[in-house]
A and B are shown apart, each in its own frame.
Chain A
């Protein structure tokens, strides 16, 4: 197909590309690659945005309020005329609700995971796992409704002096909500333990329970602890359930039977009103948000560390 026109060689074969076309293709490929990279890199920009906004607004806040007062004052009344800016009551509320939730989710989730991984027949497991995961798909505001108007009245039948808003019912419902985080991840960790280790245990005459508790669980510890930490961090960051069912007054108490506000509930409360942009009241939610971010980040790093540190290698 190569012919000569007035002394220059021209290639007319359909399979060969002109240099120009190849060049064009390379440019396009490079262009695509850059575009895709920017998309991936945008997630880093989101993090920079989050940290930047929180730190910037918090710095404005700490110009008005001493950081020592913020961390040690036991009253949180930023919207009163006698304003106190102590984050402790909010942290306290967050910790109490989280603790109640984890107290539900960790035992129930772990036992469920052991049951699904070591006991349940294959078909039951395949059916139950997605259904159980629906628990974490239900909108949190629906859980809030459930806690306030179903669980609290139910608890009041047993504990008549329980107030309408309380941390107990919010924590309990939140606990059920995070069961799938514990059970799914723990079960994955247990199923990753090789079969021959179980078979060794059975061959020694151990029952399923003994095998699960003494052989499988220690081997799956890294994955299970990561699941627990994830559940913790979910419960700390959960907003709507506590905002609806636990009341919104900051209350420096460790008693789950009392109403209290959490860090997240406070942010919701302020956002519902309209504080002017730039006021100290407006900046408090960023300081509270920064505190929340630091706490959850600490938990996430702990989870990452646990997963790495205790990973069993077969």
Chain B
């Protein structure tokens, strides 16, 4: 009897010990995240003055800013979203609503899974060989946006498929019973009901794209740009211009990389400030995505 009590006590001790160990393991991740944010904030916050956002990079660390970087990031993200959203949603709708069960569909599905596992820098190499030299798009905003769009395409497709799959079959049957065609069913019912999930996926994929630097360095993004691309809005007709698509560019992570790799410590402060801005952008996007997911899950109950 004594022995059994001892064994039970020892098992319980191990169990409690593991609970502590598990909590500590959890804390490794969370505390690192906290340390990372604090480190960036402590180093970078002194540089976050208005002129940091309105100045071009410079040889003098305290005069340098991220103007060309954040403008570049916005333009590239616009191209990425404009490409990845229609392409990804269309592919997701096809695979969920139209695709017959055959070898070709299986091939497409396996291919998307594999693409998600391809290192981002390999996408950059593909873009360098294909977009930059074959299609002669140059080392431009358009090339960068397309590259990132292809990189995040699997995320958009998967998100679209998952949110479409969550819609009950009865909705489709009801629409078709009323004489709607397949496409009408999709436009009037399937897409509106899956907007939340698709939007979440798109924001998550853009937050991934915004922090990517490796593929853009590979296609030859410049690290020192002291001018802005052509403005997309013009005073005279036709008011919009697409010359910026062909413009050379830099983006936030590349600007930060440039500053980190300099030996002078003053530039490291700039890197921290840029990193802080970048971090706030990605975390905010993730926050919005979580909020939207939460909101839509609450609103629609089948």
Contact = CB atoms under 8 A, between A and B. Distances in A.
A150 interface: yes
B261 interface: yes
Contact of B93 (A36, A137, A149): A36
B256 A141 contact: yes
Interface string B162-197: 000000000000000000011100000000000000
Nearest to A114: B22
B107 interface: yes
A138 B33 contact: yes
Contact of B36 (A37, A115, A138, A180): A138
A108 interface: yes
A57 B183 CA distance: 43
B91 A36 contact: yes
A148 B99 CA distance: 48
Contacts of A293: 118-119, 122
A140 B90 contact: no
Contacts of B182: 29, 33
A267 B218 contact: yes
Counting chain A residues whose Cβ lies within 8 A of the other chain, the interface size class is: 35 or more
A141 B275 contact: yes
Contact of B29 (A37, A47, A108, A297): A108
Interface string B31-65: 01101100110010000000000000000000000
Given A135-B32, A137-B207, A272-B223, A209 B18 contact: yes
Contacts of A131: 30, 33
B29 A208 contact: no
Interface stretch (A67-75, A189-197, A231-239, A249-257): A231-239
A43 B275 CA distance: 32
Interface of B: 11-12, 14-15, 18-19, 21-23, 25-26, 28-30, 32-33, 35-36, 39-40, 43, 86-87, 90-91, 93-95, 98-99, 107-108, 111-115, 117-126, 128-130, 133, 150, 153-154, 157, 181-183, 204, 207-208, 210-214, 217-220, 223, 253-254, 256-257, 260-261, 268, 271-272, 275, 278-279, 282-283, 286, 290
10 shortest interchain CB distances as A-B pairs = A237-B119, A115-B22, A139-B211, A39-B90, A53-B129, A36-B94, A239-B214, A111-B25, A40-B91, A207-B15
